[in-house]
Structures are given as structure tokens and as C-alpha cells.
Amino acid sequence: QVQLQESGPGLVKPSETLSLTCSVSGDSISNDNYYWGWIRQPPGKGLEWMGSIYYSGSTYYNSPLKSRLTISVDTSRNQFSLRLSSVTAADTAVFYCVRLTSNQEGRYYYYYMDVWGKGTTVTVSS
């Protein structure tokens, strides 16, 4: 049974870079059936998809974050990571890592989030 676990600092100063890692167990991150991604949820608010990555390193980012966001994968450690630069208080949120599984229609694949980590809270404050 695949499990995802987020790790990283719970407190980051404004203007600094937020870094989180998601460790995957129970499956290989190199399994070509899946993408891997990050979702965030500000306190008391809804869910925002941040971006996704394939084991090959191919990425998709949400446009408002694109200039500050980097998602990377380390297949040797079965992990993927998020870096968000120049953070402000508005970046305070619970961050979830997710596995995305595909539906196929013809030659196209559509990915939904079937496995979620428990989430980690990151506060941006001086």
C-alpha cells in the first residue's frame, strides 16, 4: 500500500525559500503509471493545485506560482521535492503531496489524485 509523507521546516521567514520533501513508500516513484504533485490549503480555505512531476522530470506548474516554484524528483531516494521562493504570509498553508493516477481515453491520459500524504503545516513569519 503506497504511502506518502511530507517533511520540512514548519516555519519559514518572509522572502526566504520554502522547501519540502515527499517520501514515497510502497511503490516506486519511477512507476510510469503515475505523476506526483503538490497541493496546498491556506488556513480555513480551499485546495490549490501547485504542480506535478513525472519520474522523468517533466513538470506542470500552476501559472501564478510558476516564477517561484520548482518541483524536482529524486528516483534514487524515491522522493520528490518542492521549493517555493520569495515566500510571504500568503504562502502559509498546509502542504500535501499526492500521487496522480491516470484514466486513459484514446491516446490521451488524464490524471487524478488518488493518494494523499497527511499534510504538513508551513507558516511564513518572521
CB–CB of 36/58 below 8 Å?
Answer: no
- Rounded least distance, CB 41 to another protein, Å: 9
Q: Which is nearer to another protein, 88 or 103 (CB)?
A: 103
- Rounded least distance, CB 52 to another protein, Å: 8
- Rounded least distance, CB 71 to another protein, Å: 13
What is the binding site for another protein (CB under 8 A)?
39, 46-49, 60, 62-63, 96, 103, 110-119
Contacts of 123 (CB under 8 A, 6+ apart): 10, 11, 12, 92
Q: Which is nearer to another protein, 9 or 64 (CB)?
A: 64
- Rounded least distance, CB 112 to another protein, Å: 4
User: Strand pairing partners for 124?
Assistant: 12
CB–CB of 41/98 below 8 Å?
Answer: no
Q: Which is nearer to another protein, 1 or 126 (CB)?
A: 1
Q: Which is nearer to another protein, 62 or 85 (CB)?
A: 62
> In terms of Cα–Cα distance, which of 46, 62, 49, 64 is closest to 100?
49
Residue 116 cell numbers, joined? 494523499
